[in-house]
Structure 1
Amino acid sequence: MKAVIVEDEFVAARSLERLIAASGRNIDIVAVLQSVEESVEWFSLNTHPDVVFMDIHLADGDSFAIFEKTDVRCPVIFTTAYDEYALKAFEVNSIDYLLKPITRKSLEKALDKLAHFSPKSNNTDIVSQIVQSIREIKSPYKKNFLIPYRDKLIPLAAEDIAFVYSEFKMAKIVCFNRQSYSMDISLDEFLRQLNPSLFYRANRQYIVSHRAITDLSLWFNGKLSVNLSVATPERIIVSRARSNEFKAWYMENAE
């Protein structure tokens, strides 16, 4: 059996490859794709595999865009941390919906379903069971934080954060009301707690809130300057290599 993995996180892709290898199902991974654009091109030019393991949220958009741009003629097993996509996942040839972190047991169940899957079969019961289990799982992203401030812990809603930047190896949080706080945490670690549809790592120094962006300026050599409604210590520049990814994120999550 031939399989393709669509996953933009290297560690997650390698972990899934190891789980598949450990399943003993004789599955050959023929490609690991990291974006909507790369996936559309691959499926347009190559013979389709027997199954696709597909993350939903990719760097340049959600993976449902792949099905809008090309015909994926094989069953799909979605792998993601997002529960709100459960029903939409079954509008395409989905046979299962695995929440990260994926376990060997959940993968084995999905592969068992794959062995008996028919695109024309009625999957209503399967959908109901999966959606119910997903709704019982808490979102992995924080909506509120407790921020150390002097001799207190200050409650702070994620929606009140305009941007976060790195200062002396700490995360400096700036809110829409111009109040700022410092946390003894790396920018990488703080980013993992934020909903990626609401916040974006613009560069090594800055995380920006989608709601704080007023507009974008074209910068030198294809770069972008991100302009916020709250003053920043320095200009926030998105590299040329990431400018298309940033624009896709910005438009995808526009209200």
Structure 2
Amino acid sequence: MKTLIIEDEKAAVRNLTAVLRQVAPEQEIIDVLDSVADVLEWVATHPMPELIFMDIHLADGSAFEVFERVDITCPVIFTTAYDEYALKAFKVNSIDYLLKPIAEEDVRAALQKLRILHGTPADEPDFLRLIKTLNKAESYKTHFLVPVKGDKLLPLAVDDVFFFYIADGIVKAVIREGKEYVLSQTLDELTECLNPDTFFRANRQYLISRNAIKDIDLWFNNRLAVNLHVPTPERILVSKVRAGDFKEWFAGGR
């Protein structure tokens, strides 16, 4: 199996290479890259490998920048010293998430998972089936505990939230009755932990629920103006670039 290693620590590369030689000698390491820029250039000039081992923190940025700019269509096993990116990792083509220092049993288990998932017969390509299998196991946040007056925490159901927005650096959740609650999460964090079938990041200021949408106006320069069932501090505009994604999401195609 042709394998690409994306890692900026030389010691980690040596360790992973040694582990692979021990537990999976059939793995052919075709290249080692250490930066987002190198990965983007490599993908543009080489066929996709059969497997990628990828560190999350690279020399010039986050590995997730790669997925935002190019299509990685092979399975990925993430390797990192941190565990806070696990949910985000499984939203891309990840089949496992290994914490450093990586041991032989970790790699052996990850490769076994890959073999099992790829070995399942199907009418569609194995990798598409793999991604669907992982998505079924993925869970999204359903409730928040938000501070209210005094020393209380109020349970807030995600299903009751019509939209999240940021103003003056403060993120708020607005429910169907129009009440607002201040949250500690950023909009980026909320986008990652909420079900993308239900919530859409309309722009940098708004994350909206499908259930909240009243109607949509065609706006200037091929943008969309989304009107909700509750008042919003300002007009919610979806850019021309994202208008197609929004329509597909609203129609249930995402």
- TM class, shorter-chain normalised? 0.5 to 0.7
Q: 1:1-255 to 2 correspondence within 5 Å?
A: 2=2, 17=7, 21=13, 23-24=16-17, 26-28=29-31, 47=47, 49-51=49-51, 76=75, 81=87, 97-98=95-96, 100=97, 104-105=102-103, 108-109=107-108, 112-113=111-112, 123=120, 139=139, 141-151=140-150, 152-252=152-252
Change (3 A) 1:211 1:109: farther
Query: Which protein, 1 or 2, shows the higher relative CO under an 8 Å CA cutoff with sep ≥ 6?
Result: 1
Give the paired residue count. 200
Q: TM-score, normalised by structure 2?
A: 0.56
Q: Distance in 1 between matches of 2:194 and 2:144?
A: 10
Q: Which has the larger radius of gyration?
A: 2
Q: SS at the partner of 1:221?
A: helix
**CA apart distance, 1:248:** 3.0
Unaligned runs of 5+ in 1: 6-15, 34-38, 67-71, 90-95, 125-129
Q: CA RMSD in A?
A: 4.8
Q: SS at the partner of 2:141?
A: coil
**CA apart distance, 1:32:** 6.0
Unaligned runs of 5+ in 2: 21-28, 55-63, 79-85, 122-129
Q: TM-score, normalised by structure 1?
A: 0.56
Q: Is the contact between residue 51 and residue 76 of structure 1 (CA under 8 Å) also seen in structure 2?
A: yes
Q: Distance in 1 between matches of 2:98 and 2:247?
A: 28
Q: Distance in 2 between matches of 1:142 and 1:111?
A: 26
Identity over aligned residues, as a percent?
A: 34
